[in-house]
Structure 1
Amino acid sequence: MTTKENESSSECGGHPSYPKEFNGLPVEIDYDGAGRPFPSVIVDDQKFSPGIINHMIPGGNIVEHLETIRNIIARDDDVLICTYPKSGTHWIWEIVSMLRKGKAEYDPRIKETTMLEFLTKEQIEGLESPRILNTHFPLRMLPKDLLDKKRKLIHVMRNPKDVAVSTYHHFKAMGTGDNAYLGTFSEYLSLFYALEVGEKGGWNKYVTDFEKFAKDNPDYPILSLYFEDMKQDPKREITKVAKFLDVPYTAELITAVAERCDFENLKKANQEIKDDFITRKVAPDGKQFMYRKGTVGDWKNWFTVAQNELFDESFERWMSGSELKFKFVL
């Protein structure tokens, strides 16, 4: 196995001291492979970056915002897309948008305009129906009324090795902001273990909570998809989505949606058509960073043999008792 990473890490220097609380909430410190500290605010056994809270959460009060989200009033035609970060959220949101319109046309908005993390109560209520809401929030933080009224929910999963690589590049692209990462992938991998697959809000808990919910509620309208299946046979998976949404469709529409939602076409549309205010707000050079490769198996270019073996051993432990089956290559 080859790896693209041969660079040496920059010096860490002296570590800043972090308070044990943030707005009255407990703070935990995790460390990357070079010993850099990364604080997380703990809310309902979930880790949140202080930088994300300060820059993205309306009002900067995560507790109040989560309460707002929990109390959203459902509409009859709401659809909620739930994904762990870097698992195809933009992709599935665009697919659902096109299918509900019955046209393979890009929405000029970006999916963040309907993302629960970023919206105030007034903004959510001001969205025109039918709403295609989306979120990275875990199951336990979803709007209660949407779940009680059994509004349709789409959950997309991606293998955690590619999630790790994609997350690393996502934070690297942020330059020197609060959420930027300055180390190497090898150093980041230790942080990924701590942040993304730990007991508090990790990848494994996210996907297995949805798995358990679907098993415990067999009559709930939830569609679970794999990123890798969507990549392998997009027309088949898009047809599944159309049937789930109960919208009229033709083979021609499915083909057109698959083509327009091909990764490179989505990336181009994001640059040329969409109002990507997130990039302007976050990226120091103004370049889009939401779309990088969108492939399956890029992890092989970044993991060493030893890292891969350790990850495989850990993966078996994380997913003990789960029936989910992930593809790491195609």
Structure 2
Amino acid sequence: MTTKENETSSKSDQPSFPKEINGLPVEIDYDGAGRPFPSVSVDDKKFSLGIIKTMVPGGNIVQHVQTIRNIIARDDDVLICTYPKSGTHWIWEIVSMLRKRKAEYDPRIKETAMLEFLSKDQMEAMESPRNLNTHFPLRMLPKDLLEKKRKIIHVMRNPKDVAVSLYHHFKSLKIGEGSVYPGTFSEYLSLFYSLDMGAKGGWNKYVTDFEKFAKDNPDYPILPLYFEDIKEDPKREITKVAKFLDVPYTEEFITAVAERCDFENLKKAHQEIKDDYITRKVAHDGKQFMYRKGIVGDWKNWFTVAQNELFDETFERWMSGSELKFKFSL
């Protein structure tokens, strides 16, 4: 978290950053070692400069957010919404198989249907049905899609495992010759609190905004799922998705999809079948980094006792009043 102590101690050796990006002021958060982490805020969502430079089409985050908001929805669009590192590749592959009615891997990667990566022309050129996916929060979703009540699948994951997975994600992403984030996990936790658990709108606001939206719009077709539930009983959860999408199925088909979408099988398919030109391009070592462990409870290998206690206190405070129930182990 940003503190006056961190800010003071880091100014002498702080790298120079532009004062603004796309007309937005650059904000500086600091990790536990006083290392600066620059970002800009759009609608109270922070975007790191490293992510903007490596992933946003054209590098203009303001323009791209507006492009996404103005996407024209199609009748058969389905949108998968997840906070980063919450099982997006997993559920996208499941949805792709279910809608094709074949337990076969799509040679494309889910980034080819991800709103954050695509220009307006690319999105319009996509064949139907579109299995779109995004990490953008509810308030940034396409207005037309929401107004026309296109189906949304929202997958959630416990924030401790999200924090660990995000740390490794940032370590793997490159900016220039280095990583988007070069520090240790303990140092990174301060950033997770300020960037991803912060009052301005991080993980906690992402999941609770969807929770409130579902309560306020009971007739909207939105399916909430938990990463941990899919891991615990994939066939049960895949069946939920099939019913939600009105896809005819048999027990044999659901079993085949569950087997093909087992984490290790997905990881192997990603390496041997997928044309992963996008993530290899932005990887620090040139290798795929989207599939790491895919387990529940890996946070126990990273959090100290003191860090876990502080995280629990923060989690309880941010989730006060929410009815969402997260599993931190299986």
Shift of 1:67: 1.2
Contact 1:82/1:135 (CA < 8 Å) preserved in 2? yes
Residues 214-251 of structure 1 deviation map (CA, whole Å, 9 limit, x = unaligned): 00000000000000000000000000000000011000
The TM-score, its normalising length taken from structure 1, stands at: 0.94
Once residues 46 and 185 of structure 1 are traced to their aligned partners in structure 2, the CA distance between those partners, rounded to angstroms, is 22
Aligned identity (percent) is: 84
Equivalent position of 2:299 in the other structure? 299
Contact 1:95/1:261 (CA < 8 Å) preserved in 2? yes
In structure 2, stretches of 5+ residues that fail to align are 1-9
The alignment partner of 2:136 has SS state of: coil
Equivalent position of 1:226 in the other structure? 226
Shift of 1:21: 1.8
Once residues 75 and 175 of structure 2 are traced to their aligned partners in structure 1, the CA distance between those partners, rounded to angstroms, is 43
The TM-score, its normalising length taken from structure 2, stands at: 0.94
Equivalent position of 2:114 in the other structure? 115
Once residues 43 and 172 of structure 2 are traced to their aligned partners in structure 1, the CA distance between those partners, rounded to angstroms, is 29
Shift of 1:13: 8.7
The alignment partner of 1:48 has SS state of: strand
Q: Which runs of 4+ in 1 moved over 4 A?
A: 175-179
Q: Structure 2 counterpart of 1:264, which letter? A: E
Contact 1:159/1:326 (CA < 8 Å) preserved in 2? yes
Shift of 1:280: 2.0
Contact 1:52/1:179 (CA < 8 Å) preserved in 2? no
Equivalent position of 2:5 in the other structure? none
Residues 243-278 of structure 1 deviation map (CA, whole Å, 9 limit, x = unaligned): 000011000010000000000000000000000112
Residues 133-182 of structure 1 deviation map (CA, whole Å, 9 limit, x = unaligned): 00000000000011000000000000000000001111112356475221
- Number of aligned residue pairs: 320
Residues 68-120 of structure 1 deviation map (CA, whole Å, 9 limit, x = unaligned): 11111111100000000000000000000000011100000000000000111
Paired residues for 1:72-91 under 5 Å: 72-91=71-90
In structure 1, stretches of 5+ residues that fail to align are 1-10
The alignment partner of 1:320 has SS state of: coil
Once residues 325 and 262 of structure 1 are traced to their aligned partners in structure 2, the CA distance between those partners, rounded to angstroms, is 24
Q: Structure 1 counterpart of 2:201, which letter? A: G
Shift of 1:16: 1.1
Residues 295-329 of structure 1 deviation map (CA, whole Å, 9 limit, x = unaligned): 00000010000100110011000101100000000
Equivalent position of 2:4 in the other structure? none
Once residues 149 and 226 of structure 1 are traced to their aligned partners in structure 2, the CA distance between those partners, rounded to angstroms, is 25
More RCO (CA 8 Å, sep 6+):
1
Once residues 311 and 304 of structure 1 are traced to their aligned partners in structure 2, the CA distance between those partners, rounded to angstroms, is 10
Once residues 200 and 243 of structure 2 are traced to their aligned partners in structure 1, the CA distance between those partners, rounded to angstroms, is 35
Query: Are 1:21 and 2:23 matched, yes or no?
Result: no
Once residues 238 and 179 of structure 2 are traced to their aligned partners in structure 1, the CA distance between those partners, rounded to angstroms, is 33
Contact 2:179/2:284 (CA < 8 Å) preserved in 1? no
Q: Structure 2 counterpart of 1:275, which letter? A: D
The alignment partner of 1:116 has SS state of: coil
